[in-house]
Amino acid sequence: MSTIPEEKTLDNSLQLLREGFPFLHSRFQRFQSDIFKTRLMMQNVICLHGEEATKLFYDPEKFMRLGAIPKRIQKTLMGENGIQTLDGEEHRKRKAMFMSLMTRPQVTKVANLAADYWWSAIGKWEKMDQVKLFDEVQDLLCRVACQWSGVPLPEKDVRKRAQDFGDMVDGFGGVGPRHWKGKKARRRGEKWIMEFVEDVRAGKIYVAEDTPARTILFYRDTNGKLLDTYIAAVELMNILRPIVAIATYITFGALAMHTYPECRQKLQANEDNYAELFVQEVRRFYPFGPFLGNRVRQDFEWRGHHFKKGTLVFLDMYGALHDPKIWEHPDDFRPERFRTWDESPYNFIPQGGGDHYTGHRCAGERITIEVMKVAAIFMTHFMDYQLPPQDLSFSLVRMPTLPKSGFVMRNVRRIQ
């Protein structure tokens, strides 16, 4: 039996927040190993890196999500006891419900709505002195998410709701005020959506047959029961919030177009579906999620290492996207690399890995890609803009992160 390299420490949680995205990577480097043990949140944690480790991590016989997601993340980012925390048959059935919302016609519906809202947004931006892309795209996507889902969103509430969804995401890696802000935003959002759930179920609000809201609110779990009001709200928010979160990738995409003008030109030509390659590279190159957590379901051995039942295991997501064993010259921004990508579900994991239906891989990956493509096409085909001086750098310590200025544009003009 080989010993897992171990970091001798009482607890490294503060260090993780101090170091941010490179926390795991720097330790894999230091130990010259794809596995090491540390202590986080006062628990032993085994950290894993690489394609083989990803295959292991997504084996449901070996791992479970029960007790793997810290409460502080559930109280900000994802809500308590939603799909992310389920295992076995309960997860499989609920995931099938989520995936039934991700069919090609549904994804096209979302992309078309996004395109409609980009048209009207450009009209509005033309009249503004300065446009902060991140905030504006959050608003735009909040409208898209609510309209697609069947959730009424009065125009006067758009900024407030979009901001709250953004704060829930922003709160996951923060301590103190940033975390509290995320918690408050979640409580406000849950109150809003729980009232909606009650009104729909009481027949006071009608939602159309083919809407995600109807699917989620009238879904029956493995016991044949409706989800309780809170869980139904959490699950509905599990599609609203992440659609708004695509604003982060879109802002990084805008940064990529600015930093690599040759990519912008290729987007303008958009030969051989270049936009798809571009957005894939944005999802690979720029940081979003640092790692994922699981708990060992039952004792097992892997590569001569013992994994004890109940141990917390983290999978290095950010590091996998910059691993030179997987990506040639990982620090170069090269969309073309995706022309020859083998499409393995275990080597490109910006939104998790494995199978969308049987595992926890992100249900909304295709929506994310298509909505990002719409943004890339609009920003290169249908609008012109200038960038005033601003700080476009982003921190790797802050999780999640964003270009500091939020990508400010001036003189936005509609073209074509």
Which among 302, 253, 223, 179 has a CA at the least distance from the CA of 402?
A: 253
**Min CB(166)–ligand HEM separation in Å:** 11
Q: Please tell me the distance from the alpha carbon of residue 28 to that of residue 47, in angstroms, as a whole number.
A: 9
Asked if 100 and 215 count as a contact pair (C-beta separation under 8 A), the reply is yes
Cα dihedral angle (357, 360, 363, 365), rounded to 10 degrees?
-110
Q: Which is nearer to ligand HEM, 83 or 232 (CB)?
A: 83
Residues of span 131-190 touching ligand HEM by CB under 6 A: none
Judged by CB under 6 A, does residue 360 bind ligand HEM? yes
CA atoms within 13 A on the CB side of 127: 4
Q: Kindly state the number of chain residues that form the binding site for ligand HEM, as judged by CB under 6 A.
A: 24
**Min CB(204)–ligand HEM separation in Å:** 26
Q: Which is nearer to ligand HEM, 38 or 368 (CB)?
A: 368
Choose, by CB under 6 A, the member of 28, 288, 346, 378 that binds ligand HEM: 288
How many C-beta atoms lie closer than 10 Å to residue 336's C-beta? 13
Q: Which is nearer to ligand HEM, 201 or 366 (CB)?
A: 366
The letter for the amino acid at 81 is N
Site stretch for ligand HEM (CB under 6 A), options 31-39, 40-48, 246-254, 373-381: 246-254
Site stretch for ligand HEM (CB under 6 A), options 22-30, 186-194, 244-252, 387-395: 244-252
Choose, by CB under 6 A, the member of 50, 174, 364, 403 that binds ligand HEM: 364
Judged by CB under 6 A, does residue 361 bind ligand HEM? yes
For 220-278, give the secondary structure using H, E and C. Answer: ECCCCCECCHHHHHHHHHHHHHHHHHHHHHHHHHHHHHHHCHHHHHHHHHCHHHHHHHH
Q: Which is nearer to ligand HEM, 372 or 412 (CB)?
A: 372
Q: Please tell me the distance from the alpha carbon of residue 354 to that of residue 58, in angstroms, as a whole number.
A: 6
Judged by CB under 6 A, does residue 369 bind ligand HEM? no
Please name the helix (run of DSSP H) or strand (run of DSSP E) that holds residue 124, with its range, or none.
Answer: helix 104-125
Judged by CB under 6 A, does residue 215 bind ligand HEM? no
Asked if 41 and 52 count as a contact pair (C-beta separation under 8 A), the reply is no
Q: Which is nearer to ligand HEM, 258 or 361 (CB)?
A: 361
Judged by CB under 6 A, does residue 368 bind ligand HEM? yes
Judged by CB under 6 A, does residue 12 bind ligand HEM? no
Q: Which is nearer to ligand HEM, 92 or 337 (CB)?
A: 92
Judged by CB under 6 A, does residue 249 bind ligand HEM? yes
* Collapsed DSSP state (helix, strand, coil) of residue 149: helix
Asked if 185 and 167 count as a contact pair (C-beta separation under 8 A), the reply is yes
Site stretch for ligand HEM (CB under 6 A), options 135-143, 184-192, 195-203, 357-365: 357-365
Cα dihedral angle (46, 48, 53, 57), rounded to 10 degrees?
50
Residues of span 63-102 touching ligand HEM by CB under 6 A: 83-84, 95, 98
Q: Please tell me the distance from the alpha carbon of residue 158 to that of residue 172, in angstroms, as a whole number.
A: 22
**Min CB(206)–ligand HEM separation in Å:** 22
**Min CB(245)–ligand HEM separation in Å:** 4
**Min CB(269)–ligand HEM separation in Å:** 26
Q: How far is CA 63 from the centre of its chain?
A: 21
Judged by CB under 6 A, does residue 292 bind ligand HEM? yes
**Among all residues, whose Cβ is closest to ligand HEM?**
364
Q: 338-362 in b/e burial notation, b at 16+ Cβ within 10 A?
A: beeeeeebbbbbbbbbbebeebbbb
* Collapsed DSSP state (helix, strand, coil) of residue 211: coil
Q: Please tell me the distance from the alpha carbon of residue 43 to that of residue 38, in angstroms, as a whole number.
A: 8
Judged by CB under 6 A, does residue 242 bind ligand HEM? yes
Consult the annotation and say whether 142 binds a ligand: no
Judged by CB under 6 A, does residue 207 bind ligand HEM? no
Site stretch for ligand HEM (CB under 6 A), options 43-51, 132-140, 337-345, 355-363: 355-363
Beta bridge mates, 352: 350
DSSP state of 33: S
Q: Which is nearer to ligand HEM, 20 or 412 (CB)?
A: 20
Which residues line the annotated binding site?
362
- The site for ligand HEM (CB under 6 A) is made up of 83-84, 95, 98, 238-239, 242-243, 245-246, 248-249, 288-289, 292, 351-352, 360-364, 367-368
